[in-house]
Amino acid sequence: MGWKTLDDMDLSGKRVLVRVDINVPVQNGKVTDTTRIDRIVETVTDILKAGGKPILMAHFGRPKGKVVPEMSLEVTLPALKAALGVPVRFADVGWDAAVATMGEGEVLLLENMRFHPGEEANDPEFAKELASLGDIYVNDAFSAAHRAHASTEGIAHLLPSCVGRNMQEELEALEGALGDPIRPVCAVVGGAKVSTKITLLSNLLDKVDHLVIGGGMANTFLLAQGHEIAQSLAEADLTDTALEIMAKAKDCGCQIHLPIDVVVAEEFKARAPHGIYAANECPSEGMILDAGPKTVANICEVFKQSETLIWNGPLGAFEIEPFGAATFAAARQAGALTDKGELISVAGGGDTVSALNMAQAIHQFTYISTAGGAFLEWMEGKVLPGIAALES
């Protein structure tokens, strides 16, 4: 891999600028989910152990280059102190002085990077100002790596740089799933619309052996094949795109798996009257809200034949009962195979994480990316500027 890790750096006595993602949910002045904070502990602890002085840079909300007091990172201090178990100091202004007076074993948190217009503009002057605060730059925020901002990209060109533990784990998992995977590889792509995932589908065709298409987007493919889909969510203007994707898949030797049977409901509502139909026999008043049991059995069989799985998007309208059945059953099968050591499973995307959580399969997966936009751009095959800057 083309990037350095903390193990490649001499951190002793060095001021180490660490870009982290602690953009956590807050309610009534309290952090309500510390997952992102918990995930930075290893990096910060390792820097402290190596004798470095960790200076945390992060964003919080979207203040758009202005000081917005409600978006101050100070709110994260108690949770940070509790997670790290060491003194954490906060600097809203006067960053130079705060860095100069850092004590041994102490962590410094800088105020919201996005209070500064130079951050999102990737202004070279602001990047220089940040770089002057440290000797080494560590990027541990994969979820912000698709943005070329001063603290995620610009600064990497100005200091010796490496990835943090979080970013390292994420990159290794993602490389293992698509970069240099153990074959056969299966991708599951679901969700509402084809239009948001055309680039992603196209990128996967020559990388995976099996492509399972599910959710609302599968309806567009069924429509393209001439099937009646009645009231189902679909994008009629994208049927040609769907046919092109299927033709390209054939050329690439990628086998596409569409629903064989579907769960059709009378309306988009929890516990709406519903039935199971062959994928080409959707009743004229119904809407497809989930994949049927034969489709699930086929997907489970594909998982069994695969060594690696990459998953983004649900197979149905999983948020409303009982239309999560296919997603949950397939997730549990992937989880069980992973547990047995028969599958490497990587999943990402907000809805996917929440669906795997509901299936109670999330902890069995090899790796779950919570990165959202960065994960999708990576699946689309795009170069993430935050990572490219580290490689150079």
Residue type, 140: D
* 118 near ligand AMP (CB under 6 A): no
Which member of 52, 54, 286, 316 binds ligand AMP (CB under 6 A)? 316
Which member of 128, 157, 193, 382 binds ligand AMP (CB under 6 A)? 193
C-alpha to C-alpha distance for 241 and 198, rounded to whole angstroms: 8
Helices marked H in the chain: 35-38, 41-49, 77-84, 95-100, 117-120, 124-131, 165-174, 198-205, 216-224, 239-252, 293-305, 325-339, 350-358, 373-379, 385-391
Active-site residue, selected from the candidate residues 61, 65, 176, 373: 373
Report the residue number, 318 or 365, with the smaller CB distance to ligand AMP.
Answer: 318
* 292 near ligand AMP (CB under 6 A): no
Nearest of 359, 357, 302 to residue 327 by alpha carbon:
359
Which member of 134, 313, 335, 348 binds ligand AMP (CB under 6 A)? 313
Q: By the 8 A CB rule, do 223 and 194 touch?
A: no
Q: By the 8 A CB rule, do 316 and 262 touch?
A: no
Q: Is 36 a catalytic residue?
A: yes
User: Minimum Å distance from CB 168 to ligand AMP?
Assistant: 27
User: Minimum Å distance from CB 316 to ligand AMP?
Assistant: 5
Angle between helices 41-49 and 165-174 (to 10 degrees): 130
Q: Is 207 a catalytic residue?
A: no
C-alpha to C-alpha distance for 57 and 42, rounded to whole angstroms: 16
* 314 near ligand AMP (CB under 6 A): yes
Residue bearing tokens 């105020």: 111
Which member of 26, 68, 192, 297 binds ligand AMP (CB under 6 A)? 192
Which member of 63, 215, 259, 348 binds ligand AMP (CB under 6 A)? 215
Q: Is 350 a catalytic residue?
A: yes
- Two tokens, residue 359: 């299936």
User: Minimum Å distance from CB 62 to ligand AMP?
Assistant: 20
Nearest of 287, 284, 289 to residue 322 by alpha carbon:
289
Report the residue number, 162 or 347, with the smaller CB distance to ligand AMP.
Answer: 347
* 52 near ligand AMP (CB under 6 A): no
| Interface with ligand AMP (CB under 6 A) | 191-193, 196, 215-216, 233, 288-289, 313-314, 316-319, 351
What residues are annotated to the active site? 36, 193, 350, 373
